[in-house]
């Protein structure tokens, strides 16, 4: 067993010595080959170093190019145009006149000459109350007048005779003459009372024919033919609302009222009524008046506007959005309001220069109307302003501009939050 271990040890040493010999011989062979081909290897080393140097020189250039990030932004062009200034308020449509038609006499309703929802003109016959009792009362009053007129005529003739007898012969006393004159005067008073009764009977007969007191639209019918109506009934026969023209009462903050009153003194102010979603324009009218007091609870004042309403687009008690055209700014520079940003030094916008780089420019905003801002200074017509992607920009950033969605310079239709 020890002999076997010794044999393996000797074999191992022999293998190691042989490997060293082979390695030495290999190294000497490589050296000889390098000496034989040294010139060619040198050329290869120089070319490799040159190519390596070129590769290193391109790396900084690639790094610098990667830092110049192009930012896509939405842009819009500033322009000059006339900009209307609106004041906005909530309003309620009110009929110019509302009449609850009632009977002025007691009687049975004989006719109804209208339909629900019908438009009527002033003087149109609406209903008839049975006129026969009132015609009989008129005939009776006329008969009474005829009788009393005959008695008056007789009393006046007797007075004339008594006075002649007193003057000519003294056949009658002065007392008789005075008594007869008093009798004639009493009968004259009776005749006048009879005439008043006749006029009253004629008036009641007229009241039997109910006519429209104004032009307007009839609502729902509240009574049917055959019912007994009274002048003291709490409910009317029908209701007429005058909707042509029609009024709108709306409110504005008290701070706006002085400006409105000042413009009213110079000229009439146009008022527009819009639907509840503030998208559909319903009618255009004129400001009529301002209320004489301010509501202390809300800090607002009431205003009243009048609309022709020929197409019937406005209904009494309808809620509408009202826009009062206060004035028009002529030849103003406008941009989309989303382009205006706020910073420590005030309002600013990003302007895209011709070399496609962004510039920060301080601006002075005259007023804002929802999606349009009127610029007093800092922007000129034709400047391209950024309306989308400002959060990725800084001064000098390279940009890729495109037309912003909804960033066109449309005239704003909604109203400002306050007086400009």
Residue-wise pLDDT tens digits, 176-227? 889 999 999 999 999 999 999 999 999 999 999 999 999 999 999 899 999 9
Mean pLDDT of the chain: 83
Number of domains in the chain: 2
Does the residue 26 lie in any domain? no
pLDDT band (50, 70, 90) for residue 63: very low
| Mean pLDDT score, 28-34 | 48
pLDDT band (50, 70, 90) for residue 151: very high
Report residue 223: phi and psi, to 5°. -150, 150
Does the residue 12 lie in any domain? no
Q: Does residue 96 sit in the same domain as residue 108?
A: no
Does the residue 210 lie in any domain? yes
Q: Does residue 386 sit in the same domain as residue 304?
A: yes
Q: Is 278 left (phi over 0), alpha (psi -120 to 50) or beta?
A: left
The pTM assigned to this predicted structure is 0.63
- What pLDDT sits at residue 405? 60
CB 73 within 8 A of CB 339: no
Q: Does residue 379 sit in the same domain as residue 255?
A: yes
The SS3 assignment for 100 reads strand
pLDDT band (50, 70, 90) for residue 14: very low
Taking 60 as the threshold, does the pLDDT of residue 367 lie above it? Answer: yes
Q: Does residue 250 sit in the same domain as residue 384?
A: yes
pLDDT band (50, 70, 90) for residue 68: low
User: Domain ends where: 229, 258, 290?
Assistant: 229
User: Domain ends where: 229, 250, 285?
Assistant: 229
Q: Does residue 302 sit in the same domain as residue 176?
A: no
Tell me the C-alpha to C-alpha distance, in Å, between residue 3 and each of 12, 14, 16, 31, 271.
Answer: 14, 17, 20, 43, 124
The SS3 assignment for 359 reads strand
Taking only the tens place, the pLDDT of each residue in 219-272 is 998 999 999 999 999 999 999 999 999 999 999 999 999 999 999 998 889 999
Domain boundaries, position 251: 69-100+242-420
Q: Does residue 297 sit in the same domain as residue 274?
A: yes
Does the residue 8 lie in any domain? no
Alpha-carbon distance 383 to 113, whole Å? 69
User: Domain ends where: 176, 196, 229?
Assistant: 229
> Could you give the angle at which helices 2-36 and 38-67 cross, rounded to 10 degrees?
80
Q: Does residue 302 sit in the same domain as residue 403?
A: yes
Alpha-carbon distance 358 to 119, whole Å? 64
Pairwise pLDDT comparison (38 vs 243), residue with the higher score = 243
Q: What percent of the chain has pLDDT over 90?
A: 59
Q: Does residue 216 sit in the same domain as residue 255?
A: no
Taking 70 as the threshold, does the pLDDT of residue 174 lie above it? Answer: yes
Q: Does residue 383 sit in the same domain as residue 318?
A: yes
């Amino acid at each position: 067993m020890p002999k076997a271990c010794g044999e393996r040890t000797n074999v191992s040493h022999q293998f190691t010595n042989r490997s060293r010999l082979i390695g030495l011989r290999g190294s000497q062979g490589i050296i000889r080959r390098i000496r034989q081909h040294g010139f060619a290897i040198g050329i290869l080393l120089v070319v490799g170093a040159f190519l390596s140097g070129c590769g290193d020189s391109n790396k900084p250039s690639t790094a610098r190019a990667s830092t110049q990030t192009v930012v896509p932004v939405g842009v819009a062009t500033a322009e000059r145009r006339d900009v209307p200034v609106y004041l906005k308020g909530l309003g309620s449509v009110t009929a110019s006149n509302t009449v609850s038609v009632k009977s002025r006499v007691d009687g049975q309703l004989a006719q109804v000459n209208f339909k629900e929802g019908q438009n009527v003109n002033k003087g149109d016959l609406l209903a008839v109350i049975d006129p026969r009792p009132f015609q009989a009362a008129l005939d009776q009053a006329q008969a009474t007048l005829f009788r009393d007129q005959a008695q008056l005529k007789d009393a006046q003739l007797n007075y004339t005779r008594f006075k002649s007898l007193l003057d000519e012969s003294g056949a009658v006393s002065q007392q008789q003459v005075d008594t007869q004159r008093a009798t004639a005067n009493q009968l004259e008073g009776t005749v006048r009372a009879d005439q008043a009764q006749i006029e009253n009977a004629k008036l009641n007969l007229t009241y039997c024919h109910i006519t429209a007191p104004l032009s307007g639209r009839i609502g729902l019918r509240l009574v049917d033919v055959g019912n007994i109506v009274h002048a003291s009934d709490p409910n009317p026969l029908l209701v007429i609302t005058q909707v042509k023209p029609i009024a709108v009462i709306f409110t504005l903050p008290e701070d706006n009222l002085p400006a409105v009153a000042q413009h009213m003194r110079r000229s009439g102010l146009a008022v527009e009524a819009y639907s509840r979603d503030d998208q559909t324009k319903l009618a255009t009218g004129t400001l009529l008046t301002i209320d004489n007091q301010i509501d202390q609870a809300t800090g607002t004042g009431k205003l009243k506007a009048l609309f022709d309403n020929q197409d019937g687009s406005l209904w009494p008690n309808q809620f509408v959005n009202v826009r009062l055209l206060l004035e028009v700014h002529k030849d103003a520079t406008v941009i989309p309001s989303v382009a205006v940003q706020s910073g420590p030094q005030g309002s600013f916008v990003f302007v895209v220069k011709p070399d496609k780089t962004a510039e920060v420019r301080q601006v002075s905003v005259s007023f804002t109307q929802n999606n349009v801002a009127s610029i007093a200074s800092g922007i000129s017509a034709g400047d391209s302003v950024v309306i989308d992607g400002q959060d990725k920009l800084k001064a000098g950033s390279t940009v890729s501009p495109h037309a912003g969605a909804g960033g066109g310079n449309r005239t704003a239709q909604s109203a400002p939050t306050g007086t400009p």
